[in-house]
C-alpha cells in the first residue's frame, strides 16, 4: 500500500487521532494538515500530529494530486463545498469521516457523473465527548467499526484500497449504501445523543431534583444516570451539522420514540393500576433487542 503523502483536511479529535494512527502504522508517511485556527495549528505542531500545517486561508488552491490520500474531516457542510473542486482524474484517493452519508454521496455522484473516480465516503464510528486535536489519541479507531459507502462510479480498486487502509489502522469495516447508513445511524447514534441531552435537561428542570442536587456535596446519581448522560450536550457544531444532513431520519426516530413513550405512559391508569404483563413484554423485548444490536449475550 503506497502511502507517501497524506493530507488531513480538518484536524480535530478525529483527524488528529487518524494522524497518530498513521504515524504508528505508516511511519514513513508525510502528513499535511489543514485547520481553521492558529490554536489548532500550534497544538498540531507541538504534538507532532503533522509534518506541515496550513490554515485554511493559506491553502486556497490546493494541488490535491500531490497526495496519495486526502482525508476530509471537517463538518459535512464544508465537505459538500469542496467536492465540486476535486480533480476528475488522477490516482489520489479521497475519503471523508462524515457522520452522515446521503448528502455527501449525492454530491459526489452528481459531480463525477459517469466518470470513474476514487472517492469513498467512510464513517469511523468512534469519537468521544471531547473535541479538538488536543484530545487526539492513536488508538481511537482500533477495534471500532468503520462504515464504507461507495458512490456510483467509484473504482472498485479505490474501495478495496480504502478498506485495507482502515483495516490496517485497526478498524473493522462494513459496507452500507448511503440511505441505509443514515437511517440506521439515526436510530443507533443520533437519537441516543438527543435523548441523553434532553434527559439531563428534564432532570435539571424538576425543582425538587434541582434542590436536592444543589444541597448535596456529592452526586445523587447511580451508574445508570452517569452512563445515560455521558454524551449529553457534546459537540454542538457536529450535532447541528448532523441535524442538517440527516433531518428526515432523525425526526422519524424521534417520532418513533415519542410514540413508544406515549404508549408506555398509557399502560398506567389514573387509579394507580397498570398493565404489568405488557410492561414485562416491553422489558423482555428490550433484552432481545439489546442482545441483537450489541451482538452480546
Among residue numbers 94 through 153, which ones bind its own copies (CB under 8 A)?
125-128, 144-145, 147
**What does the block give as the cell for 273?**
393500576
The smaller minimum CB distance to its own copies, of residues 158 and 178, is found at 178
Q: Whole-number minimum distance, CB 235 to its own copies, in Å?
A: 8
Residue 274 pairs in a beta bridge with 268
2 three-state secondary structure:
coil
292 three-state secondary structure:
helix
- Its sign, for the CA torsion 165, 170, 173, 178, is negative
The smaller minimum CB distance to its own copies, of residues 93 and 231, is found at 231
287 three-state secondary structure:
helix
Which of 63, 115, 208, 297 is in the footprint of its own copies by CB under 8 A? 208
Q: Whole-number minimum distance, CB 154 to its own copies, in Å?
A: 20
Considering only the stretches 4-12, 55-63, 77-85, 280-288, report the one whose residues sit in contact with its own copies under the rule CB under 8 A. Answer: 280-288
Cα(206)–Cα(218) distance, rounded to whole angstroms?
18
Cα(131)–Cα(236) distance, rounded to whole angstroms?
11
Of residues 26-55, which lie at the interface with its own copies (CB under 8 A)?
A: none
DSSP 8-state symbol, 275: -
Q: Whole-number minimum distance, CB 115 to its own copies, in Å?
A: 29
Q: Determine phi and psi for 172, rounding to 5 degrees.
A: -110, 150
Helices 178-185 and 247-265: angle between axes, nearest 10 degrees: 40
Residue whose C-alpha cell is 435539571: 204
Q: Whole-number minimum distance, CB 69 to its own copies, in Å?
A: 23
Residue 285 pairs in a beta bridge with none
Cα(51)–Cα(32) distance, rounded to whole angstroms?
6
Of residues 147-206, which lie at the interface with its own copies (CB under 8 A)?
A: 147, 172, 174, 176, 180, 183-184, 187-189, 191-206
Q: Whole-number minimum distance, CB 131 to its own copies, in Å?
A: 12
Considering only the stretches 38-46, 70-78, 103-111, 285-293, report the one whose residues sit in contact with its own copies under the rule CB under 8 A. Answer: 285-293
Q: Whole-number minimum distance, CB 211 to its own copies, in Å?
A: 8
The answer to the question of residue 251 lying near its own copies (CB under 8 A) is yes
The smaller minimum CB distance to its own copies, of residues 68 and 183, is found at 183
The answer to the question of residue 78 lying near its own copies (CB under 8 A) is no
The smaller minimum CB distance to its own copies, of residues 135 and 254, is found at 254
Q: Whole-number minimum distance, CB 219 to its own copies, in Å?
A: 4
Residue 72 pairs in a beta bridge with 9, 96
Q: Whole-number minimum distance, CB 6 to its own copies, in Å?
A: 24
DSSP assignment of 163-208: HHHHHHHT-EEEE--HHHHHHHHIIIIIHHHHHHHHHHHHHHT-HH
The smaller minimum CB distance to its own copies, of residues 156 and 273, is found at 273
The smaller minimum CB distance to its own copies, of residues 27 and 207, is found at 207
The smaller minimum CB distance to its own copies, of residues 104 and 126, is found at 126
DSSP 8-state symbol, 226: H
Which of 1, 55, 157, 240 is in the footprint of its own copies by CB under 8 A? 240
Amino acid at each position: 500500500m503506497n502511502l507517501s503523502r497524506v493530507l488531513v483536511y480538518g484536524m480535530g479529535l478525529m483527524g488528529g487521532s487518524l494522524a497518530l494512527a498513521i504515524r504508528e502504522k505508516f511511519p514513513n508517511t508525510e502528513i499535511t494538515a489543514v485547520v481553521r485556527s492558529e490554536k489548532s495549528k500550534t497544538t498540531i505542531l507541538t504534538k507532532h500530529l503533522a509534518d506541515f500545517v496550513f490554515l485554511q486561508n493559506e491553502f486556497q488552491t490546493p494541488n490535491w494530486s500531490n497526495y496519495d490520500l486526502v482525508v476530509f474531516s471537517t463538518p459535512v457542510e464544508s465537505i459538500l463545498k469542496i467536492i465540486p473542486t476535486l480533480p476528475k482524474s488522477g490516482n489520489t484517493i479521497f475519503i471523508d469521516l462524515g457522520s452522515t452519508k446521503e448528502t455527501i454521496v449525492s454530491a459526489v455522484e452528481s459531480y463525477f457523473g459517469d466518470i470513474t473516480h476514487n472517492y469513498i465516503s467512510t464513517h469511523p464510528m468512534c469519537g468521544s465527548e471531547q473535541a479538538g486535536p488536543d484530545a487526539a489519541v492513536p488508538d481511537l479507531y482500533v477495534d471500532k467499526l468503520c462504515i464504507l459507502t461507495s458512490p456510483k462510479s467509484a473504482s472498485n480498486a479505490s474501495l478495496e484500497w480504502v478498506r485495507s487502509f482502515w483495516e490496517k489502522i485497526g478498524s473493522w469495516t462494513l459496507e452500507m449504501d448511503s440511505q441505509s447508513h443514515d437511517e440506521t445511524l439515526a436510530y443507533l447514534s443520533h437519537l441516543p445523543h438527543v435523548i441523553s441531552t434532553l434527559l439531563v435537561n428534564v432532570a435539571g428542570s424538576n425543582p425538587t431534583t434541582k434542590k436536592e442536587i444543589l444541597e448535596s456535596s456529592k452526586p445523587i446519581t447511580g451508574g445508570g444516570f452517569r452512563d445515560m448522560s455521558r454524551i449529553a450536550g457534546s459537540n454542538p457544531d457536529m450535532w447541528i451539522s448532523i441535524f442538517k444532513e440527516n433531518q428526515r431520519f432523525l425526526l422519524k426516530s424521534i417520532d418513533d420514540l415519542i410514540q413508544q413513550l406515549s404508549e408506555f405512559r398509557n399502560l398506567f391508569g389514573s387509579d394507580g393500576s397498570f398493565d404489568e404483563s405488557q410492561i414485562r413484554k416491553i422489558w423482555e423485548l428490550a433484552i432481545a433487542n439489546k442482545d441483537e444490536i450489541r451482538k452480546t449475550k
